[in-house]
Each structure stands twice: as C-alpha cells, then as structure tokens.
Amino acid sequence: MRKFWQGLIWGGLLGSVLGAIFGPMVKPQKKPLVERSADTIKATTRDLMRQARRTRRRLMKKLD
C-alpha cells in the first residue's frame, strides 16, 4: 500500500513537471483577435465615421 501512495505522489510530480515543460510547446499559437496597428485603427475609425454619416442622412430623410 505504501508503494502505491509513493508511486502516486512521484507520478503526480513528474506529470506536473512534464506538463509545465511540454504544455506551452504543444498548444498552437493563436493570432490576436484584434489588430492593434495604427493603420488598422485609422481605417476602422474611417469606416465607422462613414457608416455614422450614412445612418444620420437616412434618419434625417425619414424625419423630413
């Protein structure tokens, strides 16, 4: 019974060490969800402004 517990403890320690070493290497690298470059932010802002302008025009036409 003592060997069982000893093996369980050593196996757990060894598994933890191996998992800490090999875990990051096995996981695939993820691409960032949102690009943070200045050009991308500028383009996104420009698109949002165009969309807001169109929406405002549409609303003004409906109200008139």
pLDDT tens digits, one per residue of 5-53: 999 999 999 999 999 988 888 777 776 666 678 888 888 899 999 999 9
pTM of the shown model: 0.41
Q: 47 φ, ψ to 5°? A: -65, -40
Q: What is the pLDDT of residue 34?
A: 67
* Chain mean pLDDT for the chain: 87
Q: Provide the CB-side half-sphere exposure for 21 (13 A, CA).
A: 6
Q: What is the pLDDT of residue 12?
A: 95
